[in-house]
């Protein structure tokens, strides 16, 4: 029933007899969908299309971009071991930080859902959401203080007599630590929402049939939580592939990842065509890996659940 007829009925007018023709009433769908679609087209697809076109242009030093239809920017990427190294570094830190987030995040999410009382749960969720309210750069700056040559971590290590000095800043390890700290809340919250939906009695039933904790985890919990694990991992992976602030601030000038490299080409070198090509290579790599992993996991999930 449409809104208009409900309103009429509510106003006390005569109910419309069922046999009468329905008054022509426009559904609000178009009005609801229109702005969103328009904004997506205008603000996402449009710029992407322009960027794609730029990536086939030619860069002439001193003249910026010259209109052309050439694949030389892509060829340059695949012919140059330096840029492949940058992509590999980015993939490596993304894989490692997503994996660490999963391993660290799952027990926390499980605790939140199954073991914590309502007050502890509320407190933990606030603690998880709180860092998300601060900018990435702010949190990363704090890590710089901790990881710096004379920072907290270094002082602690020398205080405990483990080593004289701990030089973590400007290393890949430091970047991974920074990424995990940024991404962990996303992983936990995603896992938590999926674990909430799993019926506890399934675990109890498995237990009553003699399954130990490991078997319950492996045969019941993980398969059922797989959509959440997948979503959380993909989220973390995508975010770390595109991370900018953490690699720049914690990695320093000698650490090269894809997103900062795109920025360097576009803004510092003013080489928009190559910057655009790098952006597309980054986007496609992320897309192929996430879609591929999802497809693979779903196939395995089907086999698992059979």
Question: Taking CB under 8 A as the rule, does residue 133 contact another protein?
Answer: no
- Please count the other Cβ atoms lying within 10 Å of the Cβ belonging to residue 151: 17
Structure tokens at 263: 């920025």
Question: Taking CB under 8 A as the rule, does residue 248 contact another protein?
Answer: yes
Torsion sign across C-alpha atoms 195, 196, 197, 203: positive
HSE-up (13 A, CA, CB side) for residue 304: 16
Question: Taking CB under 8 A as the rule, does residue 18 contact another protein?
Answer: no
Question: Taking CB under 8 A as the rule, does residue 270 contact another protein?
Answer: yes
Q: Which of 11, 14, 20, 29 touches another protein by CB under 8 A?
A: 29
Closest distance of CB 163 from another protein, Å: 17
Closest distance of CB 180 from another protein, Å: 20
Q: Toward another protein, which CB reaches closer, 239 or 250?
A: 250
Question: Taking CB under 8 A as the rule, does residue 31 contact another protein?
Answer: yes
Window contacting another protein (CB under 8 A); options: 7-15, 92-100, 208-216, 260-268: 260-268
Closest distance of CB 62 from another protein, Å: 5
Q: Which of 187, 266, 279, 281 touches another protein by CB under 8 A?
A: 266
Burial class (CB in 10 A: 0-12, 13-18, 19+), 161: exposed
Question: Taking CB under 8 A as the rule, does residue 295 contact another protein?
Answer: no
H helices, E strands: number in the chain: 15, 2
Q: Toward another protein, which CB reaches closer, 159 or 214?
A: 159
Closest distance of CB 70 from another protein, Å: 17
Window contacting another protein (CB under 8 A); options: 60-68, 90-98, 279-287, 293-301: 60-68
Give the footprint of another protein on residues 80-109 (CB under 8 A). Answer: 82
Q: What is the DSSP string of 19-45?
A: TSPPP----THHHHHHHHHHHHIIIII
Question: Taking CB under 8 A as the rule, does residue 62 contact another protein?
Answer: yes
User: Degrees (nearest 5) of the Cα angle 215, 97, 108?
Assistant: 45
Q: What is the helix, strand, coil percentage profile of the chain, to 5? A: 75, 0, 25
Residues 6 and 4: their CA atoms lie apart, in Å, by 5
Torsion sign across C-alpha atoms 286, 292, 293, 295: positive
Total chain residues near another protein (CB under 8 A): 38
Q: Toward another protein, which CB reaches closer, 72 or 172?
A: 172
Residues 224 and 304: their CA atoms lie apart, in Å, by 10
Question: Taking CB under 8 A as the rule, does residue 209 contact another protein?
Answer: no
Q: Which of 53, 114, 150, 213 touches another protein by CB under 8 A?
A: 150
Question: Taking CB under 8 A as the rule, does residue 28 contact another protein?
Answer: yes
Question: Which residues face 58 on adjacent strands?
Answer: 66
Q: Toward another protein, which CB reaches closer, 3 or 284?
A: 3
Residues 51 and 277: their CA atoms lie apart, in Å, by 8
Residues 211 and 222: their CA atoms lie apart, in Å, by 14
Question: Taking CB under 8 A as the rule, does residue 267 contact another protein?
Answer: yes
Residues 243 and 193: their CA atoms lie apart, in Å, by 25
Report the interface residues with another protein, using CB under 8 A.
2, 25-35, 38-39, 59, 61-62, 64, 82, 149-150, 170-172, 248-249, 252-256, 264, 266-271
């Amino acid at each position: 029933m449409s809104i208009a007829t409900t309103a009429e009925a509510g106003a006390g007018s005569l109910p419309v007899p069922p046999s009468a023709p329905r008054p022509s009433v426009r559904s609000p769908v178009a009005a609801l969908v229109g702005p969103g679609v328009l904004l997506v087209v205008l603000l996402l697809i449009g710029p992407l299309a322009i960027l794609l076109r730029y990536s086939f242009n030619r860069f002439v030093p001193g003249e910026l971009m010259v209109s052309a239809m050439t694949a030389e920017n892509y060829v340059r990427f695949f012919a140059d071991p330096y840029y492949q190294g940058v992509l590999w570094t980015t993939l490596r830190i993304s894989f490692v930080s997503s994996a660490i987030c999963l391993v660290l995040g799952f027990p926390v999410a499980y605790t939140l859902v199954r073991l914590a009382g309502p007050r502890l749960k509320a407190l933990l969720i606030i603690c998880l959401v709180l860092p998300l309210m601060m900018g990435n750069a702010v949190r990363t700056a704090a890590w710089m203080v901790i990881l710096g040559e004379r920072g907290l971590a270094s002082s602690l290590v020398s205080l405990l007599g483990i080593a004289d000095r701990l030089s973590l800043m400007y290393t890949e390890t430091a970047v991974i630590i920074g990424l995990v700290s940024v991404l962990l809340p996303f992983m936990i919250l995603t896992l938590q929402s999926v674990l909430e939906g799993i019926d506890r009695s399934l675990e109890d039933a498995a237990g009553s049939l003699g399954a130990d904790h490991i078997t319950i985890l492996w045969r019941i919990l993980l398969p059922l939580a797989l959509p959440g694990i997948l979503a959380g991992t993909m989220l973390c992976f995508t975010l770390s592939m595109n991370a900018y602030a953490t690699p720049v601030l914690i990695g320093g000038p000698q650490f090269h990842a894809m997103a900062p490299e795109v920025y360097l080409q576009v803004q510092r070198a003013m080489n928009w065509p190559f910057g655009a090509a790098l952006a597309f290579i980054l986007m496609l790599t992320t897309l192929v890996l996430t879609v591929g992993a999802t497809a693979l996991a779903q196939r395995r999930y089907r086999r698992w659940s059979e």
